[in-house]
Amino acid sequence: MLNDPDAPASALIDRRKAERFLSSPKDYGKPWFGQLMAAPQMLAYLLQVNDWLESYAPKFVS
């Protein structure tokens, strides 16, 4: 998804921060987001958001 400039979620993600997150240790003993999301779950969540955006193609307005 990070390498695909047409991925809908790429507009919502800071590429440098995502790459840093991917290169950091994944098993650090505590959840990253509340009690539900450690690193693997967070990555799955981002991929699901991207899939949803591809499926429904919402339009973002500013």
What does the DSSP assignment read for 21-56?
A: HHHS-S--SS-SBTTTB-HHHHHHHHHHHHHHHHHH
Q: What is the pTM of this model?
A: 0.75
Hey, what are 2's tokens?
């990070």
Q: What pLDDT, in 10s, does the model give residues 7-59?
A: 999 989 999 999 988 888 666 556 555 566 677 788 888 999 999 999 999 98
